[in-house]
Structure 1
Amino acid sequence: MPVLQIDDGGFRLDSEPFRLLSGGLHYFRVHPAQWADRLHKARLMGLNTVETYVPWNLHQPRPDLFRMNDGLDLPAFLDLAAAEGLHVLLRPGPYICAEWEGGGLPSWLLAQRGIRLRTRDPLFLSAVDDYFTRLLPPLLPYLATRGGPVLAMQVENEYGACGDDTAYLEHLAGSLRRCGVDVPLFTCDQPADLERGTLPGVLATANFGTRSTQNLAALRAHQPNGPLLSAEFWIGWFDRWGGHHVVRDPDQAARELDELLATGASVNFYMFHGGTNFGFTNGANDKHTYRPTVTSYDYDAPLDEAGDPTEKFTAFREVIAKYAPVPAGPVPARSAKLALPSVPLTESAGLLDCAPALGDAVESSHPLTMEQLGQDFGFVLYETVLPAPGPVLLELEQVRDRAQVFLDGQPVGVLERENHEHALAFTVPRSGSVLSLLVENQGRVNYGPGIHDRKGLPGKVLLDGTELAGWTSRPLPLTSLDAIPFAGTATAPSGPHFHRGTFELAEVADTFLHLDGWTKGNAWINGFALGRYWSRGPQRSLYVPGPVLRAGTNEIVVLELHSAHRARTVDLRTTHDLGPTEE
């Protein structure tokens, strides 16, 4: 592979002028069996490069555990990109934002009291340096300087929106270099943050989605020489629970792209293919109100969540063809989809009843946070015994992020962080009643100062103004469902229950799981965590990658936190439903 060079005139590959035509494609949001398909379609749209973040929290889920296998096999992804003739822009963080849980920062960092993320705090920098020494050596053969596809690597991510400590960025760049990274480095920031987030001697790039000429001019004013690159050219957006499905007109986006390319600048689409926040991996925003991101990361991109070309694919391909060669041939066809209506879920198990099989309770004087429990995702079940009967007022200092409250196993209310709810009144029937709080992590904040987002019940719990003591905190990460004691039931039980069923397939294909009539929870097929569903929308279906399915018998498990469909059935359909659009 040729080596990227940066001079006053722009980018060069082995001394030849070069324009980056890149698109975002996050390997960790796509089933690995589908990587090759998505990469091939990137080349067919006319791209010569793909870009990906690297999620620290998945690769190093515990300080002493590092993994780079299965869906996290980044070397395998880079091999496939190279085989497709694509270059790669690599963005290893440590912080990535990406509407990803915690912005990619591992939850165990927050188990350290007082830690200051994205700063020169020795606790943070020591963890970052350790992460780089684990991540980067296996990737060195993939650098362009060693014959691999990786042309350049990013330092941090939109740091100018967070701080202005040049010494912090210098430390990160130095750590990359000490680990053997010898390809060009770059930073990315929104135009208004360029002064704060850039690093002398490192290529500055800008993120925007409109007013290309104006924003590139701001980049040129900050960086008088060298190539112009929009490292995130926003051609769509993400969705949040309770909002609309955000879309952007393809023709308008294509006009913005044409304006950008006409200046001679390079581009990286954010996103070319968004993919999915499988499992519990979605992030959240908190600008005075907590807003969790949905499971789908479709992003209204040129390839939709299932990898099928959209109108933007054709529109962008036509614009790119004005400036660079585009592979001949038709736009790729949509992949086959399967349908199977009314799949029955005939077996159930109560979550509160089977909780001891899913996690060990830890005794303490006060509720422990997820981070103190060594837990990344899922739920915590907190329990304590109430001293006396009568009417009471329960107050939770902090709810992170949604607490279902039970008294002797019966639901008495829900407190949501998003709605700034902290108090609940009810009557205790007897002395010795058990108070249970099932608290869901709905996604750690991924942007801004809110990234110090400890989950569970980080504050005091008061009963009639007096702090409750004597708790058990039971982590329920739901990384395995094997221990759940399912049994057949004639009717749909209410409250938090797992529901299981099977279905038969002669052959496999992509499909979409629809949970009409269900309320809120999570779904798995053959043990693969599809993600969250919620009747509040906008998202009303979950993408099921074909490789998750198998010919023969397949298992589906649904965790319903409230009220299941009366008939306890789900549908597999050929089309997705991401909800009403916001124009």
Structure 2
Amino acid sequence: MPELKIGEKDFLLDGEPFQIISGALHYFRVHPDQWADRIHKARLMGLNTIETYVPWNLHAPTRGEFDTSAGLDLERFLKLVAAEGMHAIVRPGPYICAEWSNGGLPPWLLRIEGVELRRAEPQYLSALTEYLQAVYQIVAPLQVDRGGPVFLVQIENEYGAYGSDKEYLAELVRVTREAGITVPLTTIDQPDPQMLEDGRLDGLHMTASFGSRSTERFKTLREFQPTGPLMCMEFWDGWFDSWGFHHHTTTVEDSDTALDEILRVGGSVNFYMFHGGTNFGMTNGANDKGAYVPLVTSYDYDAPLDEAGNPTAKYHAFRKTIAKYAPVLDELPAEATPAPVFDASLTPRASLLDLLGEIGEARPGDHPATYEELEQDTGFVFYQAPAVDIAPGTLRIGEEVRDRAYVFQDGIPVGIMARDAHERALALPLLASPVQILVEDQGRVNYGPRLGEAKGLIGEVTVDGIPLTDWTSWRLDVDRLPELDLEGCSLNLGPQVLDGEFELAEAADLFLETSAWGKGLVWVNGFNLGRYWRKGPTQTLYVPAPVTRAGRNRIVVLELEAMAHPSAQFVDGLRLGQIEF
């Protein structure tokens, strides 16, 4: 069987120098029926390897389970990589960052009293051991020396940017080796001396992450690792987008120049991303460097394949550059064709606050319970306190709103408190009316010191300094909305559920234009496409063809604010927003 080894200057596959030309493709951000298409297009660009993270929180939403159904079938994904004649790199974390909610760490970890994340702390080590053993039960039989595609596995992820606990890294190595992983193990850090020092461990091959100045960055890496192959494990060929900002891009010329510098010196590369895909549902992460900034649903990343899997100018430029150093097939992927363009009418069906009994589970208490206390991983929580005899009065949240709070009195909207605007106070206009607050988790922080923080209303809630007590907190499961019979439901002010139908001649990729809507979520045939928000930059939600069907299709919308035009407009392609000049 083949074997990959770390040589004096190169990776050695069956004893021969091997230049890894890889691309990141996250199976959990792509519909499983489209995996084979994206993998094939990677090979046509000249790649010989596919890399993927593994999201702990998605596979194990509760401790003790490891879900591999449908879009989480890692084994199927890796076998499709092998069927394409390609190799695989697996990066299971347990922390992955990836602009993914909580960096991939499951929220139930936060409910373990005294747990310390990404440290050699016994409770954390016990939990991650269970997780890694489940991952490696899939990965170990698919290693290259057993006839499979996997020839590299990464330990942790950019750990030098977070900590320096060598005991922790060593424990990850021990668990990995004892689970039967025999291929070389790697680390990754940005080419900063302190990060490289803190993230390294004897016996692990060091790789770097960068998107420019390749020669300079490799020089820094070589200072810490005098021998062995040079590899950029994350070649940032684009960037992610956040709500309220422009659509990030990098120029084809700059990215291609940096790629050529890597390949010219015999370096190996992993494009981050080759194909970004989509943060379906409520899986997006957030950053907080003094201001909370949640990420958009699209993870297009300005990558060689766009969000819908179509080749871009970068794809063709990179393919040409790769062909200077490695064999590239003659076949080219088909270019994008316009998607069906049509409108579908939407009918308001119900007010969300009138559906609490259908999608919610109530818990009384003396304070508004956090998401962690309610065992609510993401989405929405609704709070209600009895009437207050103060008007006008000022509602105040003691510490912070996490992340967006819609405030009502007796079902009437009175305002919004937004974390990204540092808002935690609001005037209440009505006398003797119950205080009601709908909170949306807009994405858990995926990077930095606020990783693992609680969600909800944090701190004491008061009106003119008087604490509100006797709360009822509802954990809401909005993914149940498409299942409900909404005929005859009441319509009041506030968030509304709308639905509609449309006909297709055959299943097809669709692009739902949302710029005339406010803020909310969309389901097509029960599949949660993700969040939309008029703040942009993203103006479309991508609807994968396998989600649709010939004949009648149903769309359900949860609109939290207000629609300028209550109809579903499908356009011919992606609308990712204004770029920065």
What TM-score comes out, normalization by structure 1 length? Answer: 0.97
SS of the residue corresponding to residue 67 of structure 2 reads coil
The answer to whether 1:62 aligns with 2:67 is: no
Instruction: Tell which deviates more after alignment, 74-83 or 139-148.
Output: 139-148
Aligned ranges 1:181-192 → 2 under 5 Å = 181-192=181-192
Task: Report the counterpart of residue 150 of structure 2 in structure 1.
Answer: 150
SS of the residue corresponding to residue 333 of structure 1 reads coil
**CA offsets 1:91-143 (integer angstroms, 9 cap, x no match):** 00100000000000001111223422111122211110111122211322111
- Alpha-carbon offset, residue 557 of structure 1: 0.5
Instruction: Tell which deviates more after alignment, 275-284 or 120-129.
Output: 120-129
How many residue pairs align between the two structures?
A: 578
**CA offsets 1:424-483 (integer angstroms, 9 cap, x no match):** 1123322xx211110000000000111122111232212221321111110113232255
Aligned ranges 1:52-451 → 2 under 5 Å = 52-192=52-192, 193-329=195-331, 331-396=332-397, 397-430=399-432, 433-451=433-451
**CA offsets 1:335-367 (integer angstroms, 9 cap, x no match):** 444324221112411100111110110111111
Task: Report the counterpart of residue 569 of structure 2 in structure 1.
Answer: 571
SS of the residue corresponding to residue 33 of structure 1 reads helix
- Alpha-carbon offset, residue 151 of structure 1: 0.5
SS of the residue corresponding to residue 174 of structure 2 reads helix
Name the amino acid aligned to 2:577.
G
Task: Report the counterpart of residue 460 of structure 1 in structure 2.
Answer: 460
SS of the residue corresponding to residue 12 of structure 1 reads strand
Would the alpha carbon gap of residues 504 and 493 (structure 1) be closer, same or farther in structure 2, given more than 3 Å must change?
Answer: farther
Asked if structure 2 preserves the Cα contact closer than 8 Å seen for 1:273 and 1:302, the reply is: yes
- Alpha-carbon offset, residue 485 of structure 1: 4.2
Instruction: Tell which deviates more after alignment, 107-116 or 543-552.
Output: 107-116
Name the amino acid aligned to 1:577.
R
Using the alignment, how far apart are the partners of 1:224 and 1:172 within structure 2?
24
Using the alignment, how far apart are the partners of 1:207 and 1:18 within structure 2?
20
Asked if structure 2 preserves the Cα contact closer than 8 Å seen for 1:273 and 1:303, the reply is: yes
Q: Which runs of 5+ in 1 are unaligned?
A: none
Using the alignment, how far apart are the partners of 1:11 and 1:134 within structure 2?
28
Name the amino acid aligned to 2:101.
E
Asked if structure 1 preserves the Cα contact closer than 8 Å seen for 2:413 and 2:493, the reply is: no
Using the alignment, how far apart are the partners of 2:204 and 2:492 within structure 1?
59
What TM-score comes out, normalization by structure 2 length? Answer: 0.97
Using the alignment, how far apart are the partners of 2:105 and 2:15 within structure 1?
38
Name the amino acid aligned to 2:250.
R
Name the amino acid aligned to 1:214.
E
Name the amino acid aligned to 2:235.
F
Using the alignment, how far apart are the partners of 1:489 and 1:64 within structure 2?
39
SS of the residue corresponding to residue 160 of structure 2 reads helix
Asked if structure 2 preserves the Cα contact closer than 8 Å seen for 1:496 and 1:561, the reply is: yes
- Alpha-carbon offset, residue 288 of structure 1: 0.7
Aligned ranges 1:400-549 → 2 under 5 Å = 400-430=402-432, 433-482=433-482, 484-487=484-487, 494-549=493-548
SS of the residue corresponding to residue 317 of structure 1 reads helix
SS of the residue corresponding to residue 450 of structure 1 reads coil
The answer to whether 1:43 aligns with 2:50 is: no
**CA offsets 1:508-557 (integer angstroms, 9 cap, x no match):** 11110012321100111000000100001100110010000011110001
**CA offsets 1:228-272 (integer angstroms, 9 cap, x no match):** 000001000000000000011112211111111111110000000
Using the alignment, how far apart are the partners of 2:338 and 2:181 within structure 1?
42
SS of the residue corresponding to residue 129 of structure 1 reads helix
Q: Which runs of 5+ in 2 are unaligned?
A: none
Give the root-mean-square deviation of aligned CA atoms: 1.5
Asked if structure 2 preserves the Cα contact closer than 8 Å seen for 1:152 and 1:183, the reply is: yes
Asked if structure 2 preserves the Cα contact closer than 8 Å seen for 1:101 and 1:283, the reply is: yes
Using the alignment, how far apart are the partners of 1:510 and 1:55 within structure 2?
26
Name the amino acid aligned to 1:361.
A
Asked if structure 1 preserves the Cα contact closer than 8 Å seen for 2:348 and 2:496, the reply is: no
Using the alignment, how far apart are the partners of 1:387 and 1:300 within structure 2?
51
